[in-house]
Amino acid sequence: MSKRMDMPKESGYDAWLHYRRDRHVKQMPAWCRVIVVHETDDEVLQTAASELQQGLASMFGQQPKISTVPAHEPFVALGTFQDHPCVAERFSAEEQAEVSAEGYRIRGVEVSELAGLTGQDHADIKGRCVTVAGQTSKGVLYGVFHLLRYLQGGLDGKLKSTAKQSLHAPILDLLSNPANPIRMINHWDNMDGSVERGYAGASIFYNNNAFTTNMERLRDYARLLASVGIQALSINNVNVHQVETELITDRFLPDVAKVAAIFRAYGIQIYLSINYASPIQLGGLTTADPLDPDVAEWWQTKAREIYAAVPDLGGFVVKADSENRPGPFSYGRHHADGANMLADALRPYGGRVIWRCFVYDCKQDWRDRKTDRARAAFDHFKPLDGLFRDNVILQIKNGPMDFQVREPVSPLFGALEATQVLLEFQIAQEYTGQQKHLCYLVPQWKEVLDFDTYAQGKGSTIKRIVSGALHNSSNSNSHRGKAIVHANSGSLQEKPTHHIPKPTNFGIAAVSNIGADTNWTGHLLAQSNLYGYGRLAWDPDLSADEIADEWVRLTFSGQGKDNGDTELIPTIKQMLLDSWNIYESYTAPLGVGWMVSPNHHYGPDVDGYEYSMWGTYHFADCWGIGVDRTTATGTGYAGHYFPPVAGIYESIDSCPDELLLFFHHVPYTHVLHSGQTVIQHIYDTHFEGAERAAHLHATWISLREQLHETIYEQVLTRLEHQAEHAEEWRDRINTYFYRKSGIPDEKNRPIY
């Protein structure tokens, strides 16, 4: 069933699901020798039982029995509150009601029953089953993965425990509901097998303009995703090229259905990226105008065909009028026209339209300092707020530019009051070292999620906006918002809100970082970003530290030659936690971004995008650097935020150092809050950054004896490259600014 068996041990293929056997445990604990699950043809529940069975077998060297009836021996019970009395009976009606659609409860033995007993007695106590329960089988599946995490010792950050507890009947009693209704991953895979911005080998979905035949690999991927709560997956690149345009035709729909079936068993819904010009390219129409009745009809017919093949398709992801992709602009229509027409076609089948806001002028004139790419998404979409159907979701990148190592949050979050939104992160390290450099991105994502927009006063954090919580509360508490447009409103006019549905069309999406490399992510440590993304999408309140702790434990616990986890776990965790800051320090300074080689975006090129048409400038001259985005003298972008944020960015005195050059053009001699001048800050951070990259490398070498050889070597070569490449970054950035400013380094270090 699984490709895993064919893979070499410690190749990284099992990622955080390796379920290593602890050599100190001689036999399987009594409580988990039987798994009780109601007879069912619910695939996801079957998956849950099977995952638990396999996981326990791997950890304890013995296969638990699956039984449909409770035994007299201890057991672990799985199911929804409806499935099985032995599940339901452990939770009060109130406790059951607290569980959301995809949430779960896990209850182990009661703590009170343990008083005075030693571990060996646990098998004999009353109330001795462990129960994993949900409203739905998906909830149960997530609960099972939680339980397995717990048992692996890579414990949920909130559930500290000792190794001893994890071996015996778990003393758990917990409720977990996902914060975000949609927890999605976007693949930028092309059918020729390439992956746009892919840094871990070829596509696992396609090769040679056909679907893969390696369904085991897809199933193993589904496991990884489900284990961290991902339940939505778009399987092709948002830039939909010629062959991929045909994914919604007979040529490929049978294949899409096969892939959907694999992911369905893990509770994951498939989405397709579509080509907005399909009516022309596939349908032979002369137009793709969203207001043309033939176009609307073409999409309705097409939707019928698609849903006949894949009845539970999530819907479409659409990149339109962006970077030369076709869209409604060609016909003088706006994005809402385009999205709503598609939404109406998908509505009968429960499908969603996820419409990307990454829209800007990619043929900008670098001479023109008034046009500001950072403004583009806001300028395009803010005026359309309230005009979208209730099955349209706008997908907004975390920042206004494009996944730079440092950007402010997109001001669209909060500004769209009557529109459903998805936050878009990029797990793929396009601008953050391309999985050759270590860059644990969870701290960056945390800063975004915790950012307070003040859209509805203090506490209007991004995480509350994208989860729908703020929308929900604002719409029930007040009527300041405009309504999401319901299909039968039949008009794009603004309407007062009457009925506000439960906001299920909110959440987070992220661009995948995996590929056909054996360890999925190329850089083994980049698995932490996939893991962390899923965990954070489930629970944005987890800290970067907690998530790193979980991932390192799950990945490395017990893998070393001498189980020397005491040093291994905290050391690797610290490497992760330091890595974003290290990467930032030797690349583009103070939030200015870019400075990478055009096209492939790897490696330093300070002027690489300076005179291009992409709208990405730093305006460095011999006096200073930075982009004036103030309302007073600049592009006005700072004014897109709510007060007090707008004011903080507007003023050079209050603007945080790390975003200074994003918002202001300053002389090199400007003194930062840190007390350092801008130029000396550039020199210092770049020298330090390269040193710290070298230290990451040295640290890894120090762990050699505690790591399996193949794992050690995999990571070693990348850290080695990173250390060298950080020196190249250091020297090129420092030299560029020294040559330009003429101001020498105070510490007189080598600059060329």
- Do the Cβ atoms of 583 and 439 come closer than 8 Å? yes
* Position among 742, 744, 746, 749 found at the interface with a second copy (CB under 8 A): 742
User: CA 330 to CA 211: how far, in whole Å?
Assistant: 32
Which of 9, 251, 739, 749 is the binder for a second copy (CB under 8 A)? 739
**From 430, 452, 517, 658, active-site residue:** 430
Shortest Å, Cβ 605 to a second copy: 7
Measured CA to CA, the distance from residue 431 to residue 403 in angstroms comes to 7
Q: Residue 622 has which token pair?
A: 């011999």
- Total residues contacting a second copy by CB under 8 A comes to 21
* Contact (Cβ atoms closer than 8 angstroms) between residue 129 and residue 77: yes
Distance (Å, whole) CA 257 – CA 249: 12
Query: Is 430 designated active site?
Result: yes
Binding mask 337-376 toward a second copy (x if CB under 8 A, else -) reads -----------------------------xx---------
Nearer to a second copy, 399 or 608 (CB): 608
State the minimum distance, in angstroms, from the CB of residue 624 to a second copy: 10
Q: Beta strands of 606-652 (E only): which ranges?
A: 624-625
Q: How far is the CB of 229 from a second copy (least distance, A)?
A: 43
Distances (CA, A) of 529 to 20, 80, 147, 429, 442: 21, 31, 21, 9, 7
493 touches a second copy (CB under 8 A): no
Q: Please list the residues that pair with 106 across neighbouring strands.
A: 132, 174
| Residues 601-630 interacting with a second copy (rule: CB under 8 A) | 604-607, 611, 620-623
Position 644 contacts a second copy (CB under 8 A): no
Q: Work out how close the CB of 667 gets to a second copy at its nearest, in angstroms, rounded to a whole number.
A: 12
Tokens representing 109 are 């033995």
Q: Which residue number, 479 or 739, has a Cβ lying nearer to a second copy?
A: 739
Residue 173 to residue 593: CA distance in whole angstroms: 46
According to the binding rule CB under 8 A, does residue 303 interact with a second copy? no
Shortest spacing between CB 393 and a second copy, in angstroms: 39
Task: Select which of 402, 424, 658, 731 is catalytic.
Answer: 402
For the bound state, the minimum distance from the C-beta of residue 738 to a second copy, rounded and expressed in Å, comes to: 8
Question: What phi, psi does 22 have (nearest 5°)?
Answer: -80, 120
Please choose, out of 21-29, 170-178, 315-323, 599-607, the segment that lies near a second copy by the rule CB under 8 A.
599-607
Site string for a second copy, 270-299 (x = CB under 8 A): ------------------------------
What is the Cα–Cα distance from 139 to 141, expressed in whole angstroms?
5
**Which of 664, 610, 619, 601 shows the shortest CA–CA distance to 637?**
664
Sign of CA dihedral 377, 380, 381, 382: positive
Token code pair at residue 194: 């390439």
Query: Does 738 interact with a second copy (rule: CB under 8 A)?
Result: yes
Question: Is residue 732 near a second copy by the rule CB under 8 A?
Answer: yes
Known catalytic residue at 424? no
Query: For residue 133, what are the β-bridge partners?
Result: 79, 105
Instruction: Give Cβ neighbours of residue 266 (< 8 Å, ≥ 6 apart).
Output: 44, 47, 141, 219, 222, 223, 225, 226
Residue number with CB closer to a second copy (4 or 670): 670
Looking only at residues 13 through 42 of this chain, which bind a second copy when binding is defined by CB under 8 A? Answer: none
- In 3D space, the residue among 30, 32, 171, 29 whose CA is nearest the CA of residue 114 turns out to be 171
Nearest approach in angstroms of CB 155 to a second copy is: 47
Q: Does 497 bind a second copy (CB under 8 A)?
A: no
Which range touches a second copy (CB under 8 A), out of 168-176, 334-342, 713-721, 740-748?
740-748
The residues, any chain, with a CB within 8 Å of residue 147's CB and separated by 6 or more, are: 52, 76, 106, 130, 132, 170, 172
Looking at beta carbons only, is 242 or 623 nearer to a second copy? Answer: 623
Q: How far apart are CA 10 and CA 15, in angstroms?
A: 9
Give whichever of 490 and 752 is closer to a second copy, judged by the CB atom: 752
Q: At its nearest, how many Å lie between a second copy and the CB of residue 724?
A: 12
Contact yes or no for 393/352 (Cβ under 8 A): yes
From 89, 124, 294, 323, the catalytic residue: 323
Task: Give the helix ranges, DSSP H, for 61-160.
Answer: 85-88, 93-97, 137-152
CA distance 182 to 31: 34
121 has catalytic annotation? no
- Regarding 752 and contact with a second copy (CB under 8 A), the answer is yes
Which residues are designated catalytic? 323, 402, 430
Instruction: Give me the residues that bind a second copy (CB under 8 A), please.
Output: 366-367, 604-607, 611, 620-623, 731-732, 735-736, 738-742, 752
